[in-house]
Amino acid sequence: MSITRKLSAKQQRAIEILLRLKQLYPDATCSLNYETPVQLLVATILSAQCTDERVNKVTPELFRRFPDAAAIASADLSEIETLVKSTGFYRNKSKNIQGACRMIMQQYGGELPQLMEDLLKLAGVARKTANVVLANAFGINMGVTVDTHVKRLSYRLGLTEHTDPIRVERDLMKLLPQPDWENWSIRLIFHGRAVCTARKPACDRCTLADLCPSATLTQKPMLIESPELEELENEPEPAILTLESQSKPT
């Protein structure tokens, strides 16, 4: 006898938000430019407290001069600092980038590891960076990437009561299907930039307003019926939500 369960109201709302975000931003992908997993790691480290647009202006010359872990590991640190200076906190970022690449060379044969626990050993790498690299370079969803946009919007949408990224991530992992963890982050980031900005969210033109307890509107919350939701509600209880009908995460 199979055990079935209905999704909680919060899970239903999270799934509906995810489906709408997919419709709003169907072509949304990682904004950082890279050609290899190591380059994505470097770009993600540089993106801390810096816009992706700025990082993408810096990395072409950086990767031309130092295209892989071996080149970065043996580079003059001052050269890296000069190339990434405009991203802010450039001394610490440069040190972490070179330290990470040296460990990649020494312990992983020049190839970026594909395990969360190994990535977290690298200099300058916390869960946010590791999640970005695993999902976008290897198609592995081990967690939900929580940057400032994801943290802010997930809180506004009433999907978490926390502001600590680790706790926010845990809450989102319970609400969202694992194959869509990175889908959620990428699209929520796009929405945070375009509509739900930090200083002045545009609730009057937000298609998520009726699902958002923070919206400055008086609309009654509603859910759009969808076959994906119906399918999920009739599935056996899994350890982690899955949404088989959804496309592979970007």
139: part of which helix (H) or strand (E)? none
- Tell me which of 52, 118, 147, 210 is the catalytic residue: 147
Is 200 marked active-site?
Answer: no
Q: Determine which helix (DSSP H) or strand (DSSP E) holds 238, and give its type and residue range.
A: none
128 is catalytic: yes
CA 88 to centroid of chain Cα atoms:
21
d(CA 10, CA 191): 20
Residues 95 and 81 sit within 8 Å (Cβ to Cβ): no
Pinpoint the alpha helices (H) of the chain: 9-24, 37-46, 52-65, 69-73, 77-84, 90-108, 116-119, 127-138, 148-156, 165-175, 181-194, 227-233
Q: Which residue among 68, 128, 151, 171 is the active-site one?
A: 128
Name the residue among 107, 9, 89 with its Cα closest to residue 45: 89
Structure-block tokens of residue 213: 């307890």
Q: What are the φ and ψ backbone dihedral angles of 241, each rounded to 5 degrees? A: -60, 145
Asked if 179 contacts 246 with a C-beta cutoff of 8 angstroms, the reply is yes
Residues 235, 4: contact at Cβ < 8 Å? yes
Please name every residue paired with 4 in a beta bridge, in sequence order, or none if there are none: 236
- Which amino acids are annotated catalytic? 128, 147
